[in-house]
Structure 1
Amino acid sequence: MPDVFISEEKTKSSKLKSSKTKPFFVEPKESERHRLPGHTHNPLAAFCYYPDFVRFVNADPEEKVVLLLRRHPITNLQWLVTAFLMLLAPSFFPIILPYELLPPGFQIILPLVWYLITFAFILEKFLSWFFHVNIVTDERIIEVDFFNLVSREITDANIDQIQDVTPRVVGSIRTFFNFGDVVIQTAASIPLITFEAVPNPDKVARILRESRIEEEQEKLEGRVR
């Protein structure tokens, strides 16, 4: 027998309750990822949403990377200009240095040594940018500080430990190119994690907030791994 005496307000409230139990942040299917805005196959991308083939130290087997971030490419402009000037410098050696007083062998070795120093400078700066990454997974946030080939520092915090997310875009250059810092306050042992000079800081902050809400929803529904 149909429940004709149930009020319309109750049916509406029950619909609202059922809608609240649905996941807030739905993970896209594997076939749909390449169509997502922000998804790219470029290995040098500074912003990649659901990247492919990303692995990191101490990753859980079922942990999935939601966001991979690097500093905006425009932040490399300063050292790129320096590297360009260093590459041009040997052409001015005969003007600056007393080349005619040097033995012929030194006149050849000196530019080669300079180019080796320049190459080492470029490699160190590129690796520092490429491996200094910020990762957001479905379980935690990770900041990798890459100092050199033998020194790095990894900081992480669980998604449910995020207390506040603040995007900061200061200055005309950052506003024009749409990059800035995302400051994350956590309840972890390290209370402050900063994603420095990342593209689309507002979008990054929104993804972090949505991930936190989804993690809280999983706890309520008992879906926590």
Structure 2
Amino acid sequence: MTDQNKHHARRNVEDYSEVMKNEKSTNNFFRTFISKPKNIHLDIQNKDEKIILVLRQHLITQLKSFLFLCMIILLIPILLNFSGFIETFPDKFIGAFYIFWIVLTFGLFTRTFLIWFFNVYIITDERIIDVDFASMIYHNISYAKIENIEDVTARTTGPLAAIFNYGTILIQTAGEKTEFEFGNVPQPAKVTKLISELLLEEEKEKIEGRVN
């Protein structure tokens, strides 16, 4: 059986996944749980490989970083003003300092947003993919075939995770990278069930001879 025939033999995910059967397709890439996206394509994506789910960390998990940035951004200028230290410098220097502080603030918020936005976990009908974004010039992509997955567990820790329904998915594989961690993703029970359904479908394909 050729590779092309193998891909054509794959069923639509709605035919075997209870999770995806109840999920609507969305193209809103700012969401943290993006099911069956139509306008997302990866450079490493195979010709007939379909992206089923894109995940990123739950927004509530970014609250700590946001509050910390706000505290630093507001606290330092306030302390400088109350201490009178900044008044010892010329007005031009003070103006330049505040301009620098605004630019720095914008840069910190932008960096925090980009790291959250581009660090994504992707599940296709063939693989799980972990995109680790560190900066605009460096990112790392790890992936494992569905058939190499050996164990999937979900871990929810703390009251916030229980209230807002997010957790960490731990995946063990027999591939080159043996452990994957999808950190603080929404609806962890759905994600683990979906991966289990994909794994079961992979086994059925082998038994029925739809793929080698």
TM-score range, shorter chain: 0.7 to 0.9
Q: 1:178 aligns with which of 156, 165, 168?
A: 165
Q: Between the two proteins, what is the percent identity of the paired residues?
A: 35
Of the structure 1 ranges 52-61 and 124-133, higher mean CA displacement relative to structure 2 is found in 52-61
Inter-partner Cα distance in structure 2 for 1:224 and 1:73: 39
Per-residue displacement from partner, 1:165-203 (whole Å, max 9, x unpaired)?
101112111111111011111110111111111001010
Q: 2:43 aligns with which of 57, 70, 77?
A: 57
Structure 1: gaps (5+ residues): 1-22, 30-34
Q: How many residues align?
A: 199
Query: Residues 141 and 157 of structure 1 are in contact (CA less than 8 Å); yes or no, is this contact kept in structure 2?
Result: yes
Tell me how far 1:99 sits from its aligned partner: 3.1
Query: 1:37 maps to what in 2?
Result: 23
Query: Residues 144 and 154 of structure 1 are in contact (CA less than 8 Å); yes or no, is this contact kept in structure 2?
Result: yes
Tell me how far 1:210 sits from its aligned partner: 0.3
Per-residue displacement from partner, 1:75-134 (whole Å, max 9, x unpaired)?
110121123234434355422342332112111100111111111111111111111100
Query: 1:149 maps to what in 2?
Result: 136
Query: 1:161 maps to what in 2?
Result: 148
Secondary structure in 1 matching 2:13: coil
Bigger relative CO (Cα 8 Å, ≥ 6 apart): 2
Query: 1:113 maps to what in 2?
Result: 100
Query: 2:62 maps to what in 1?
Result: 76
Tell me how far 1:148 sits from its aligned partner: 1.5
Instruction: Output the amino acid matched with 1:188.
Output: G
Query: 1:213 maps to what in 2?
Result: 200
Instruction: Output the amino acid matched with 1:165.
Output: V
Inter-partner Cα distance in structure 2 for 1:105 and 1:45: 43
With over 3 angstroms needed to count, the CA separation of the structure-2 counterparts of 1:212 and 1:203, relative to structure 1, is: same
TM-score (norm 1): 0.80
With over 3 angstroms needed to count, the CA separation of the structure-2 counterparts of 1:24 and 1:210, relative to structure 1, is: farther
Inter-partner Cα distance in structure 1 for 2:120 and 2:84: 42
TM-score (norm 2): 0.85
Inter-partner Cα distance in structure 1 for 2:195 and 2:105: 39
Query: 1:99 maps to what in 2?
Result: 86
Query: Residues 145 and 153 of structure 1 are in contact (CA less than 8 Å); yes or no, is this contact kept in structure 2?
Result: yes
Tell me how far 1:43 sits from its aligned partner: 1.9
Inter-partner Cα distance in structure 1 for 2:171 and 2:91: 59
Query: Residues 160 and 215 of structure 1 are in contact (CA less than 8 Å); yes or no, is this contact kept in structure 2?
Result: yes
Secondary structure in 2 matching 1:67: strand
Q: Computing the radius of gyration over CA atoms, which structure comes out larger, 1 or 2?
A: 1
Of the structure 1 ranges 82-91 and 182-191, higher mean CA displacement relative to structure 2 is found in 82-91
Query: Residues 72 and 199 of structure 1 are in contact (CA less than 8 Å); yes or no, is this contact kept in structure 2?
Result: yes
1:122 aligns with 2:114: no
Instruction: Output the amino acid matched with 1:178.
Output: N
Instruction: Output the amino acid matched with 2:163.
Output: F
Secondary structure in 2 matching 1:113: helix
Query: 1:190 maps to what in 2?
Result: 177
Inter-partner Cα distance in structure 2 for 1:157 and 1:45: 24
Inter-partner Cα distance in structure 2 for 1:56 and 1:151: 16
**CA RMSD, aligned part only?**
2.4
